């Protein structure tokens, strides 16, 4: 597995790289956004780790957007800058799958990297392969999502989240199950994640993210995917 780390701080870049190398990953280190993009094309890594604030040239968010234009490669944001939820959402909007705030311990870092890789490589989607109500159509097998006829890019995490909810449509999936199935066992205490990603997902597939029809919240329990018929959509 090849992991690319883009961070302007050499000390961080190198320490993270050393740890990943030690744990058997291939590592590509880049000192700024431009170099990162170039390396992405050249090296085709399986995972990208992006710092957001980089003084020269492109910042992490831009790099993330550029990568998303051409690939679904999982991207992990690693930022010292996140203060509010908005900061994190900005990162996710740019297409990141995961948002870690500095400082992070190396063991946790590696666990997250492994979980993210595992998530993106999961292709064995068992039950229903397709969903289409005229407005929203999802092809789980080919990983295609269309909203109102237009193709929508979902990050691996978003897609995985949608898939899990769709598989259990009509039933409530509680937070823990969601965390375990989408992110992995390591994330079971990160109750924060589903909330951020659900709202991100809603923005992409719901007509009115403030009044969702597909993904409904069961307070303090979890989320539920509600299938819509074509007529309900029309009536709306």
Partner 1 sequence: MQATNGLTLLINGLTLALALSFLFILLWHDVRKEITQFFAVFLALVLLWNLGSFLAQAVILIGVEGSAARFPLIMLEFGFTGSSIALYALVASLVKMYSRRFRILLLAALVILFTYRVAIFAAGAPDPFVIDADGSLFLQTRTPLLLFYLLFDGAALYLLWRYQRKIRLRVLKFGLLLFIIGQSIGFLNPELDTFLISTVIGALATLVISVGILQQEIFRPLAERKSQVEAIRNVIASIASQNAVDSILEQLVRQSAELLEADGAAIFLLEDDGLSLKTTYELINDRLGSRLPLGEGVAGTAVQTGKLIQLDDYARDWKGSHEFAYASEFFGAVMCAPLVAGGDPVGALMVVASRHGRLFDREDAYLLQLLAAQAAVAIIQSRLFAGQTELNVQIEQSRNQLETVLVSTDSPVIAIDREFNLIFANPAAAALVGAQTVDPNAPIADLLPASAFPNNLRKALREIRKRRSFTYEAELGDKIYLCHVAGLGRPKMQGWVAVLNDITQLKELDRLKSEMVRMTSHDLKNPLQAAMANVDLLHEDIYETGSEDVRQSLDTIDRQLQRMNRIIRGILDLERLRDGALALELCAPVRIIEDAVHEIREFAREQSVVLDYVADDDLPLILCDVQQFERAIINLIENAIKFTPAGGSVKVAAERDNGEIVFSVSDTGVGIAAELHERIFDRFYRGKQRGVEHVSGSGLGLSLVKAIVINHRGRIALESEIGVGTRFTIYVPCA
Q: Does 16 bind partner 1 (CB under 8 A)?
A: yes
Q: Does 18 bind partner 1 (CB under 8 A)?
A: yes
Residue from 189, 210, 234, 235 binding partner 1 (CB under 8 A): 189
Stretch that binds partner 1, among 13-21, 58-66, 130-138, 176-184 (CB under 8 A): 13-21
- Per-residue mark of binding to partner 1, 60-99 (x: CB under 8 A): --------------------xx-xxx--------------
Q: Does 232 bind partner 1 (CB under 8 A)?
A: no
Q: Does 114 bind partner 1 (CB under 8 A)?
A: no
For tokens 């050393």, what's the residue?
Answer: 18
Q: φ, ψ for residue 3 (rounded to 5)?
A: -115, 130
Distance of closest approach, residue 53 Cβ to partner 1, in angstroms: 7
Residue from 44, 130, 191, 227 binding partner 1 (CB under 8 A): 191
- The residues of the shown chain that bind partner 1, judged by CB under 8 A, are 9, 11-12, 15-16, 18-19, 22, 53, 80-81, 83-85, 101-107, 109, 189, 191-192, 219-220
């Amino acid at each position: 597995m090849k992991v690319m780390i883009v961070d302007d701080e050499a000390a961080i870049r190198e320490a993270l790289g050393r740890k990943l190398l030690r744990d058997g990953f291939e590592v590509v280190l880049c000192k700024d956004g431009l170099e990162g993009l170039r390396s992405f094309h050249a090296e085709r890594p399986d995972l990208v780790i992006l710092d957001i604030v980089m003084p020269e040239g492109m910042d992490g968010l831009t790099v993330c957007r550029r990568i998303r234009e051409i690939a679904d490669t999982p991207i992990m944001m690693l930022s010292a800058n996140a203060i509010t939820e908005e900061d994190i959402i900005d990162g996710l909007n740019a297409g990141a799958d995961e948002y870690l705030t500095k400082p992070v311990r190396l063991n946790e870092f590696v666990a997250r990297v492994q979980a993210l890789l595992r998530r993106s490589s999961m292709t064995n989607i068992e039950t229903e392969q397709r969903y289409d109500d005229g407005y929203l159509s999802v092809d789980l097998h080919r990983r295609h999502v269309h909203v109102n006829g237009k193709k929508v890019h979902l990050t691996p995490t978003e897609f995985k989240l949608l898939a899990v909810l769709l598989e259990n449509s009509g039933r409530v999936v509680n937070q823990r199950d969601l965390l375990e199935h989408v992110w992995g066992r390591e994330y079971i205490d990160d109750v924060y994640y589903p909330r951020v990603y659900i709202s991100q997902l809603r923005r992409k597939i719901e007509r009115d993210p403030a009044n969702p029809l597909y993904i409904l919240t069961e307070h303090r329990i979890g989320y539920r995917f509600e299938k819509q018929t074509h007529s309900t959509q029309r009536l709306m």
